[in-house]
């Protein structure tokens, strides 16, 4: 049995290790940097680097890398060894403060949205001392931010750190008004991660999974998730072994992997860590996804992180549980026993409500990817409409404040289970609403629209920035007030009143909600190109500039990178489909129909009395479908050619892919899936949905 406490964080250069290995002055100086963000002196950096190197070498490291998160969505690393020539043909192991603090990877191969011309290939990575260095294999990994030579940011970590500063400052400003002396407010996040595991041998036979991460063809299996027998079901031993190895690796990295269980769909699972400060949660989530993929392979499985690997089966998401906590241990979203009297909580709630209403588009676009478009609004994940669920009790508080009436609390109800041996449990005052994109869950908000593959930085940048903006507006008003309590109440009431349209406690999956949301004037940004077009609207540019998260140039760059990525993803999918359709599916169906024709002839040659009706019917049907299939291949090819006409306008280009290329892809799939249902499995060129989803025994 693994001794968890002894391995936990054994591969992390964390506070405990630093305290152990650094001289007191160096430790104090570094701690000051971590806690207050003050710049680090190079002499201290030298001492830290040396201690880190010694520690890493003791753990078998030969290399170090600046580990960063460029706009590709995956993490990047360039490995350098510690060796340095010592003059006599020998080497010594060295690592300087300068090497710790700054790296210069060639930036030209990372997306920059036109910010960095290739001739200015220089880019910098800089150490984020608030996220601990860690060991992966034989390499010391140093979490870093990434920017261009000109100082424009090219990664996901820097804006997240900036947004953390902003939410920190603005929360402290508000808390001062409540006479609270707080030094630091951190956004905390616990991301629940869903994923699929399938057998590697089966995976290898599917070009679509290999090239695009999702199945582009495939008829529904007779058994899907109808029986709901997979959710929380007993783990298969291969999966259990995988999870154990994963947990151990994550624990060594100091990641609080806590909950693992089967999910709703066959072959689907979930991992939830205990929450932590958001930039660390983001680093940890990237590491978790990376470890999942790597460790699955060791067990002859493939981990699929795509948002929708299988049509007709639930896709995978990520729930971003987000809250704010102070260095004094207070959770700012904790309503307490009497939320109706908790002015501070109500003010923060009002800021969230106003922020989500005013910046629905930013939340929506922060989760917009080609893959996630297949999930949102598909009756398995929240709709593309952003709304907020606060539960019946809190809603009643809000309503009472708006109406100016008294609120009567119902308290928690004691629930009996009917069985004497079981203890009575307190029922939560409100049931869960799984259909809401943004739900208050007791002392945190759960943003549920994230796709499983997403880097969680972007949605959290939005949440922190939006809230910082709203809090700053509140402070501007309240700092001038001579009657704080009364003015604060008035402000809360006014805010609830003006922004209550964003609150929705009903079923978000229904058509009625789509209609009602429209009446309320809420946005319904169905596709990624539509959502991304809001990145560059005036109010959002102003917000980012005012909160010093992105310059306008950086916003435009991000907008372009994300659209470009969308176009590339759909383009690769279309090309993969054409490859599969032309090289495998069409020839297979044709071969099967040839066999049918031969059988019909052979039977007829024996005797005219032998019925060939079944074969003839099937042959006729399949031949008609195959003709249509071939026509749709042509149509898709034509669309791809036409798409090139929009190359000069990236927004239109992406929209064309969304409206036309994807539509032909869907048509092509539909015919193929129909044919799959009628073609002998001996002839079908790919493993079926049934084989993929039930591949692990
Ligand atoms: P669910 O019922 O949706 O699975 P849980 O209550 O198990 O939700 O918690 C889900 C996630 O929320 C976990 O990662 C947990 O650590 C995280 N969480 C709990 N409290 C907070 C908080 N204050 N801030 C951020 N995340 C939190
Ligand atoms: Mg959840």
Pairing of strands 414-415, 425-426: antiparallel
Angle at 196 (CA atoms; ends 195, 198), nearest 5 degrees: 155
Looking at the CA of 257, which ligand is closest? 1
**Start-end of H helices in 479-506:** 484-499
Whether residue 126 has pLDDT greater than 80: yes
Residues contacting residue 42 through CB under 8 Å, at least 6 positions apart: 97, 98, 101
Asked if residues 330 and 320 have their Cβ atoms less than 8 Å apart, the reply is no
In the chain the first and final C-alpha atoms are separated, in Å, by: 24
Whether residue 418 has pLDDT greater than 70: no
Atom of ligand 1 nearest to the CA of 275: 16
Query: From the CA of 440, how far away is ligand 2's center (Å)?
Result: 11
pLDDT tens digits, one per residue of 458-495: 999 999 999 999 999 999 999 999 999 999 999 999 99
Atom of ligand 1 nearest to the CA of 333: 23
Q: Which residues surround ligand 2, an ion (CB under 5 A)?
A: 192, 319
Query: From the CA of 199, how far away is ligand 1's center (Å)?
Result: 31
Report pLDDT for 429: 47
**In the chain, where the domains are located:** 4-154, 163-415+423-550, 566-693
Asked if residues 529 and 658 have their Cβ atoms less than 8 Å apart, the reply is yes
Whether residue 419 has pLDDT greater than 50: no
- Residue 299 CA neighbour count, 13 Å, CB half: 25
Asked if residues 633 and 582 have their Cβ atoms less than 8 Å apart, the reply is yes
Name the residue with the closest Cα to ligand 1, atom 13.
190
Report pLDDT for 425: 44
Query: From the CA of 127, how far away is ligand 2's center (Å)?
Result: 32
Atom of ligand 1 nearest to the CA of 272: 14
Name the residue with the closest Cα to ligand 1, atom 25.
189
Atom of ligand 1 nearest to the CA of 259: 7
Query: From the CA of 336, how far away is ligand 1's center (Å)?
Result: 17
Average pLDDT on 406-426 reads 49
Query: From the CA of 279, how far away is ligand 1's center (Å)?
Result: 16
413: confidence class by pLDDT, cuts 50, 70, 90: very low
Atom of ligand 1 nearest to the CA of 273: 14
Query: From the CA of 193, how far away is ligand 1's center (Å)?
Result: 12
Atom of ligand 1 nearest to the CA of 191: 14
Name the residue with the closest Cα to ligand 1, atom 6.
441
Query: From the CA of 624, how far away is ligand 1's center (Å)?
Result: 53
pLDDT tens digits, one per residue of 139-160: 999 999 988 877 888 899 999 9
- What is the average pLDDT value for the chain, to the nearest integer? 91
Query: From the CA of 13, how far away is ligand 1's center (Å)?
Result: 26
List all residues whose CB is within 6 A of at least one atom of ligand 1: 188-190, 192, 272-275, 319, 321-323, 331, 443-444
Average pLDDT on 590-612 reads 97
Atom of ligand 1 nearest to the CA of 192: 14
Q: Candidates 187, 189, 190, 335: which one to mutate for ligand 1, based on the most atoms within 8 Å of Cβ?
A: 190
Name the residue with the closest Cα to ligand 1, atom 23.
323
pTM: 0.93
User: Lowest-pLDDT range, 32-46, 267-281, 354-368?
Assistant: 32-46
pLDDT tens digits, one per residue of 437-448: 999 999 999 999
pLDDT tens digits, one per residue of 174-197: 999 999 999 999 999 999 999 999
Query: From the CA of 464, how far away is ligand 1's center (Å)?
Result: 18
CATH number among 3.40.50.720, 1.10.287.1770, 3.40.50.620, 3.10.20.70, domain 4-154 = 3.10.20.70
Name the residue with the closest Cα to ligand 1, atom 11.
190
Residues contacting residue 352 through CB under 8 Å, at least 6 positions apart: 388, 445, 467, 470
pLDDT tens digits, one per residue of 27-56: 999 998 887 767 788 999 999 999 999 999
Average pLDDT on 661-681 reads 97
Higher pLDDT, 382 or 390: 390
Whether residue 106 has pLDDT greater than 80: no
Atom of ligand 1 nearest to the CA of 331: 23
Looking at the CA of 276, which ligand is closest? 1
Report pLDDT for 371: 96
Q: Candidates 192, 259, 334: which one to mutate for ligand 1, based on the most atoms within 8 Å of Cβ?
A: 192
Query: From the CA of 244, how far away is ligand 1's center (Å)?
Result: 21
Name the residue with the closest Cα to ligand 1, atom 22.
323
Name the residue with the closest Cα to ligand 1, atom 24.
323
Name the residue with the closest Cα to ligand 1, atom 19.
275
Domain 163-415+423-550 has CATH 2.60.40.640: no
Query: From the CA of 446, how far away is ligand 2's center (Å)?
Result: 7
Atom of ligand 1 nearest to the CA of 274: 16
Residue 456 vs residues 155, 261, 396: alpha-carbon distances, Å: 13, 21, 32
Neighbours of 490 (CB within 10 A): 13
Fold of 566-693: 1.20.120
Exposure string of 174-191, with b = 16+ CB inside 10 Å and e = fewer, is: bbebeeeebebbbbbbbb
Neighbours of 6 (CB within 10 A): 8
Name the residue with the closest Cα to ligand 1, atom 1.
192
DSSP conformational letter for 311? T
Query: From the CA of 295, how far away is ligand 2's center (Å)?
Result: 24
Query: From the CA of 332, how far away is ligand 1's center (Å)?
Result: 15
Task: Please give the helix or strand (H or E) that residue 322 lies within, else none.
Answer: strand 317-326
The β-bridge partners of 276 are 189
Backbone angles phi, psi at 154, to 5 degrees: -120, 15
Report pLDDT for 263: 75
Pairing of strands 268-273, 185-199: antiparallel
Q: Which segments within 47-155 are labelled E, that is strand?
A: 63-68, 76-81, 83-85, 91-93, 102-103, 123-127, 133-136, 139-148
């Amino acid at each position: 049995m693994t001794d968890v406490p002894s391995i936990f964080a054994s591969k992390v250069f964390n506070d405990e290790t630093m305290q152990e290995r650094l001289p007191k002055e160096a430790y104090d100086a570094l701690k000051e940097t971590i806690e207050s963000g003050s710049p680090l002196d190079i002499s201290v950096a030298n001492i830290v680097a040396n201690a880190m190197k010694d520690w890493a070498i003791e753990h078998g490291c030969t290399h170090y890398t600046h580990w960063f998160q460029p706009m590709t969505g995956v993490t990047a690393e360039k490995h350098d060894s510690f060796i340095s020539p010592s003059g006599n043909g020998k080497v010594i192991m060295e690592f300087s403060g300068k090497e710790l603090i700054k790296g210069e990877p060639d930036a030209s191969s990372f997306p920059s949205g036109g910010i960095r011309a290739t001739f200015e290939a220089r880019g910098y990575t800089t150490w984020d001392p608030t996220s601990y260095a860690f060991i992966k294999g034989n390499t010391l990994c140093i979490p870093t931010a990434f920017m261009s030579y000109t100082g424009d940011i090219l990664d996901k970590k820097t804006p997240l750190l900036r947004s953390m500063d902003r939410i920190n400052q603005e929360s402290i400003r508000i808390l001062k008004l409540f006479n609270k002396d707080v030094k630091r407010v951190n956004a905390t996040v616990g991301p629940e991660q869903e994923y699929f595991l399938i057998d590697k041998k089966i995976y290898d036979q599917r070009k679509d999974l290999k090239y695009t991460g999702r199945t582009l063809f495939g008829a529904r299996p007779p058994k899907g998730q109808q029986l709901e027998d997979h959710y929380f079901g007993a783990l298969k031993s291969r999966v259990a072994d995988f999870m154990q190895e994963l947990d151990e690796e994550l624990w060594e990295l100091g990641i609080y992997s806590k909950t693992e269980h089967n999910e709703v769909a066959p072959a689907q699972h979930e991992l939830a860590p205990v929450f932590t400060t958001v930039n660390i949660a983001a680093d940890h989530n990237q590491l978790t996804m990376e470890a999942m993929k790597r460790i699955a392979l060791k067990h002859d499985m493939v981990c699929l992180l795509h948002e929708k690997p299988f049509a007709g089966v639930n896709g995978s998401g990520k729930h971003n549980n987000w809250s704010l906590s102070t260095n004094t241990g207070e959770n700012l979203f904790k309503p307490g026993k009497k939320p109706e009297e908790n002015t501070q909580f109500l003010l923060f709630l009002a800021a969230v409500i106003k922020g989500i209403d005013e910046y629905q588009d930013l939340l929506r676009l922060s989760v917009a990817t080609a893959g996630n478009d297949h999930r949102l609004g598909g009756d398995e994940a929240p709709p593309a409409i952003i709304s907020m669920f606060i539960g019946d009790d809190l809603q009643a508080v809000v309503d009472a404040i708006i109406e100016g009436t008294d609120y009567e609390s119902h308290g928690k109800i004691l629930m009996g289970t009917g069985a004497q041996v079981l203890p009575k449990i307190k029922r939560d005052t409100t049931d869960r609403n799984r259909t809401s994109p943004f739900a208050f869950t007791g002392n945190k908000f759960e943003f549920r629209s994230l796709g499983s593959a997403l880097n969680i930085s972007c949605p959290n940048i939005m949440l922190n920035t939006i809230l910082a903006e709203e809090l700053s507006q509140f402070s501007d008003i309240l700092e001038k007030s001579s009657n704080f309590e009364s003015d604060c109440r008035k402000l809360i009431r006014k805010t609830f009143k003006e922004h209550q349209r964003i609150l929705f406690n009903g079923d978000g999956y229904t058509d009625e909600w789509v209609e009602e949301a429209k009446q309320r004037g809420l946005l319904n940004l169905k596709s990624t190109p539509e959502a991304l077009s809001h990145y560059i609207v005036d109010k959002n540019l102003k917000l980012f500039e005012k909160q010093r998260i992105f310059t306008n140039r950086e916003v435009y760059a991000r907008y372009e990178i994300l659209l470009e990525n969308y176009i590339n993803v759909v383009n690769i999918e279309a090309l993969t489909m054409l490859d599969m359709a032309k090289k495998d599916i069409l020839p297979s169906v044709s071969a099967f129909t040839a066999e049918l024709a031969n059988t019909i002839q052979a039977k007829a040659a024996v005797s005219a009395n032998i019925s060939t009706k079944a074969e003839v019917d099937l042959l006729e049907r399949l031949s008609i479908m195959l003709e249509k299939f071939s026509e749709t291949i042509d149509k898709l090819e034509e669309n791809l050619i036409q798409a090139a006409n929009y190359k000069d306008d990236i927004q239109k280009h992406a929209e064309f892919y969304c409206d036309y290329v994807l539509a032909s892809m869907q048509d092509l799939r539909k015919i193929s899936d129909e044919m799959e249902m009628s073609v002998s499995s001996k002839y079908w060129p790919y493993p079926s949905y049934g084989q993929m989803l039930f591949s692990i025994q």
